Structure 1
Amino acid sequence: MIPVSRPYLPQREKLDAYLDGIYARNRLSNDGPLVQELTRRLSSFLGVEHLLLVANGTLALQVAYRALGVSTEAGKSEPNAITTPLTFVATASSLKWEGVDPVFGDVDAETWCLDPDSIAPRVTQDTRAVVPVHLFGNACDVEAIDTVARDYGLRVIYDGAHAFGVRYRGESLLSRGDASAVSFHATKAFHTVEGGAIVFRHKADLEQARSLINFGQTAPDRIEAVGLNAKMSEFHAAMGLCVLDELEHCLAPRREAWHAYEAELGGWARMQRRSSSVENNSYVYFPVAFADEAQMHAVKNALERAEIQARRYFYPALDRIPDLNPVRPPSARAGDLASRMLCLPMGQDRSETEYVLEILRGMSRSMRMQATGDD
């Protein structure tokens, strides 16, 4: 089976050298030297300040909400945050875990990211933040979102799980907003097996978050906040350092597959329109929207028969899940896109990509024949 995403494994010898150092120092966690080194190297590689490594991308979101005052507080009304329904469930479930009600806007029909025009009509006196998603590494309309947020006094926390390394107008896309949360899960091009990071706009918010991920402790004998354990371990940092060294080698097959799919599918399926201000691609997933749900299922089933895994990222749209959206009407555009969207395999070698393309070409010919009535 060709998986939808194949985790990248770096050279074992390099990883073993880092592990030997961990064994020699006998320090496994609590802001160890490898976590500090990875923090420095990622800050330099991404061109950002105020980066904090954490245990995973979901905790990155939760810590950002709490550090920026979005989470619920005892004795106060339940806050809400406006977000997109076309995303992984953790974007919304992380809000629920922090006592924040997710309020779903709709997406732009072309970019598939949160439509800025859908934010203001949903703002109430309890709204504290906007949580947009740079879906599949495509930049949201950050300027329009910033304008709405300023008008209503809202925090902006980007879910940048797909946006690692993406440049926007000469700067890291992760530098936009009050904070950006990143996932370093094994399915991503850059990963630490499990892990994540938060990039803050202000150093004071970084320092607040730093204490939160260590149980609220600012010193061994001083607790200044109600925190949790969200620290990255030395073992995870070791993997991250190895993958960072080999990132171009990891990205090469993803880039090749992405452009091959784009060339093959451009004539009969719909692609996400990339922001003109985005200078590169994270190559984390290759999403495509077919004409309707029936066509999507036909392609997915044909791939599965050929032992090729494709995934319905992201289905269903989150505003169709009763526990997340019990009363509000669901979105129109996000629900439609989610029903007919499919992500194709990434990270495989050239022969496997060609095999996937062979199946897709067969489906394209079959669908053209059906459309014209030819046998």
Structure 2
Amino acid sequence: MTRPTLPSREEVLPFLDEIWNSRFVTNRGPVHLRFETALATYLDVPYVTVTANATLGCMLALRHLGVTGEVITPAFSFVATAHAASWVGADLVFADIDPETLSIDPQDVERRITPRTRAIFAVHCYANPCDTQALADIAKRHGLALIYDAAHCFAAKDEGGSLLRHGDLSVVSFHATKVFNTLEGGAIISHDLETKQALDRLCNYGIVDENNIESIGLNAKMSEMHAAVGLAQLPHVEHDIARRGQVVQRYWDRLKDMDGIRCVCPPDRPGRNNYAFPILVGPEYALSCMALYERLKAAGIHARRYFHPPLSQLPLYRDLPSADPRGLTCAIEASEQVLCLPLYPDLAPEDQVRILDVICTPWR
């Protein structure tokens, strides 16, 4: 399905020598600090707090903003989104998605606001931008926090710049499956120094100094080793995104006019980071989505049904009032039809042809 891009060992070794010589392996060491600075510059965002993973980043973002009560979040997302909100004690309210972008539907968000609503926890699904202006207007009008799970969005942009600049806080993932990875990791993007410093403290148990602990934090720090991989990886991102774009283009050229197949992420939108290539398998196609998944699997091709089932149908959450499928028709339909095809920079053209042949000749 995916294959992590890694820098060469030779590129990582100088950072490892520095770590070994200093014996500074965690707790915001010099490599960690350089990595945060390099990320802020590359992403063109004000402040970056790197974390051990994006799920912890989401939990700390919600915690920092004091989110309790109800949190509105899309029913179509990875489970980490819902789990992060649940871990901080929030009450989940699922909203439907826009049928075109598969990101959260602002109109449905506004319909679900109650006096107990405290935050909108939106997701740029597959790095397809949410309607950020509409969500910002809703959040301002109702006095709500606006947080973006931007796990998929490293280097993704809209007409105004980085997608990560939106909301009160945004969280991006550096997991091995993402466009940019530190093996495991993530980051919270903030807009001012005071917020960054507060988030830095929350990453380290809320410790201010040797004698003072001001808040209930977590051990969410990124190690020096992971930061070293990130620093070595960063110079390769543009090249990797371009190579991913070649893979996306080959998929698009062959599938864009196929009956029953809708390509969710067209390659021509400026600022796309080519994170994923999801297709929706409609009733006009020769096979059901599940049958195509099994056909690919039998051919040794591993696609993924990201995201199936929808969060609202998981046993953990399906009894929530907002999980009523009658109010989540787009999320449920997308979940039934979605299939993410293999995508990574060094996917060989001949392997991609084999994938496409299975999809384009399902009767064989």
- Letter in structure 1 aligned against 2:316: D
Give the count of matched residue pairs. Answer: 356
Partner of 1:75: none
Partner of 1:91: 81
- Letter in structure 2 aligned against 1:300: Y
Distance 1:324 1:203, change over 3 A: farther
**1:319 touches 1:325 (CA, 8 Å); kept in 2?**
yes
Instruction: Output aligned runs, 1:50-61, within 5 Å.
Output: 50-61=47-58
Partner of 2:264: 272
**1-structure distance, mates of 2:95, 2:22:** 49
Moved more, 319-328 or 239-248: 319-328
Partner of 1:372: none
Moved more, 292-301 or 9-18: 292-301
Q: 1:283 aligns with which of 261, 274, 290?
A: 274
The one-character-per-residue Cα deviations of 1:171-195 (angstroms, maximum 9, x if unpaired) are 1110011000111001112111111
SS at match of 1:235: helix
**2-structure distance, mates of 1:207, 1:359:** 47
**2-structure distance, mates of 1:8, 1:365:** 31
The Cα of 1:350 is off from its aligned counterpart by 4.9
Partner of 2:298: 305
**1:186 touches 1:193 (CA, 8 Å); kept in 2?**
yes
Instruction: Output aligned runs, 1:56-135, within 5 Å.
Output: 56-70=53-67, 72=68, 79-135=69-125
SS at match of 1:157: strand
Structure 2 spans left out of the alignment, 5+ residues: none
The one-character-per-residue Cα deviations of 1:7-49 (angstroms, maximum 9, x if unpaired) are 1121111111211110001000011011111111110001001
The Cα of 1:141 is off from its aligned counterpart by 0.2
**1:68 touches 1:205 (CA, 8 Å); kept in 2?**
no
The Cα of 1:299 is off from its aligned counterpart by 2.2
The Cα of 1:252 is off from its aligned counterpart by 3.7
- Letter in structure 1 aligned against 2:264: Q
Distance 1:319 1:254, change over 3 A: same
**2-structure distance, mates of 1:229, 1:115:** 34
- Superposition RMSD in Å: 1.9
SS at match of 2:262: coil
Q: TM-score, structure 1 length as denominator? A: 0.91
SS at match of 2:103: coil
**2-structure distance, mates of 1:174, 1:274:** 21
Q: 2:209 aligns with which of 213, 216, 219?
A: 219
Q: TM-score, structure 2 length as denominator? A: 0.93
**2-structure distance, mates of 1:138, 1:88:** 15
Q: 1:257 aligns with which of 210, 227, 247?
A: 247
**1-structure distance, mates of 2:47, 2:241:** 26
**1-structure distance, mates of 2:355, 2:80:** 32
The Cα of 1:348 is off from its aligned counterpart by 5.2
- Letter in structure 1 aligned against 2:351: Y
Q: 1:326 aligns with which of 319, 325, 328?
A: 319
Identity across the alignment (%): 38
**1:82 touches 1:131 (CA, 8 Å); kept in 2?**
yes
Partner of 2:354: 358
- Letter in structure 1 aligned against 2:221: K
**2-structure distance, mates of 1:44, 1:259:** 29
The one-character-per-residue Cα deviations of 1:178-230 (angstroms, maximum 9, x if unpaired) are 00011100111211111100001333322221111111111111111111111
Instruction: Output aligned runs, 1:33-52, within 5 Å.
Output: 33-52=30-49
**2-structure distance, mates of 1:336, 1:121:** 20
